[in-house]
Amino acid sequence: MLKLYIGNKNYSSWSMRPWVLLKQAGIPFEEIKVRFDSFEADSSFKHALHTVTPTGKVPVLVDGDLVVWDTLAIAEYLAEQFPDQALWPRDKAARARARSVCAEMHAGFTALRGNCLMNIEAALADTGALIWRDKPAVRADVDRLVTMWQELLAAHDGPLLFGDFSIADAYFAPVCMRLKSYALPVPPPIAAYVARVCALPGVKAWMDAAVAEQDFREFEEPYRLKR
């Protein structure tokens, strides 16, 4: 059986992507959670991960003797291993577009990711309002997301970015968590898409588990001192 190494569900946005992809697609796997203690070289987290992957980071997918790290590489491997699941869109042009937007997410949106750390169990509207007021780069990232998602939703017949669930929706699920937790302002069609993503069984299962963790990691939440 596939094994997926992840971090804390409340905080680990990169772990969320392949976990949601596997869960939503109904692909069996064993979850191995490595609790965040710190990201220093001598941390328990780093020691545990370095026995599996040279990067010392999550997520990591293990399939027998094969170890695959990096979220995008994991997604590509799963798409190849389970072609009947159509994890990428079946249409060639749509598939190329889906890969493009996932790569853009993978390498970009640094202001949104850096200022709005994923925290699923928190209600951070006040923090979000200050970020929105003071961080034009965050506003620019959200504007780009809105434009991208509106174009994709208009171009495809279905409730998600490429019609049916795909890697793209799993890839942007942590962004939906940020928009929700920080109550960042988006147009109604985008808010409706966020709600649909949150309602997906795979996403809801991750969110429920994140809330149930009750594992406050101070270094992950510099914007608040206690729960």
The CATH number linked to 27 is 3.40.30.10
Tens of each residue's pLDDT in the chain, 227 residues = 999 999 999 999 999 999 999 999 999 999 999 998 777 888 888 888 899 999 999 999 999 999 999 999 999 999 999 999 999 999 999 999 999 999 999 999 999 999 999 999 999 999 999 999 999 999 999 999 999 999 999 999 889 999 999 999 999 999 999 999 999 999 999 999 999 999 999 999 999 999 999 876 765 666 664 45
| Rg, C-alpha atoms of the chain | 17
Query: pTM of the entire structure?
Result: 0.94
Residues 17 and 100 in one domain: no
Looking at 85, 107, 127, the residue that finishes a domain is: 85
Residues 105 and 192 in one domain: yes
The CA distance from 205 to 196, in Å, is: 14
In a domain, 45, yes or no: yes
Residues 26 and 131 in one domain: no
In a domain, 111, yes or no: yes
In a domain, 218, yes or no: no
In a domain, 34, yes or no: yes
Residues 123 and 68 in one domain: no
In a domain, 182, yes or no: yes
Which of these, 190, 196, 98, 102, lies nearest to 143 by C-alpha position?
190
In a domain, 109, yes or no: yes
* Host domain of residue 193: 92-209
In a domain, 224, yes or no: no
Looking at 85, 108, 131, the residue that finishes a domain is: 85
Residues 15 and 109 in one domain: no
The CA distance from 80 to 201, in Å, is: 23
Q: Which long-range contacts (CB under 8 A, 24 or more apart) does 192-201 make?
A: 193/149, 193/153, 193/159, 193/160, 193/161, 196/159, 196/160, 197/160, 197/169, 197/172, 197/173, 200/20, 200/24, 200/165, 200/169, 200/173, 201/23, 201/24
Quick one: CA torsion of 106, 160, 79, 112, rounded to 10 degrees?
Answer: 10
Q: Which residues contact 75 (CB under 8 A, 6 or more apart)?
A: 17, 18, 21, 87, 102, 167, 170, 171
Phi, psi of 144 (to 5 degrees): -65, -40
> How many domains does the chain divide into?
2
In a domain, 161, yes or no: yes
Residues 109 and 196 in one domain: yes
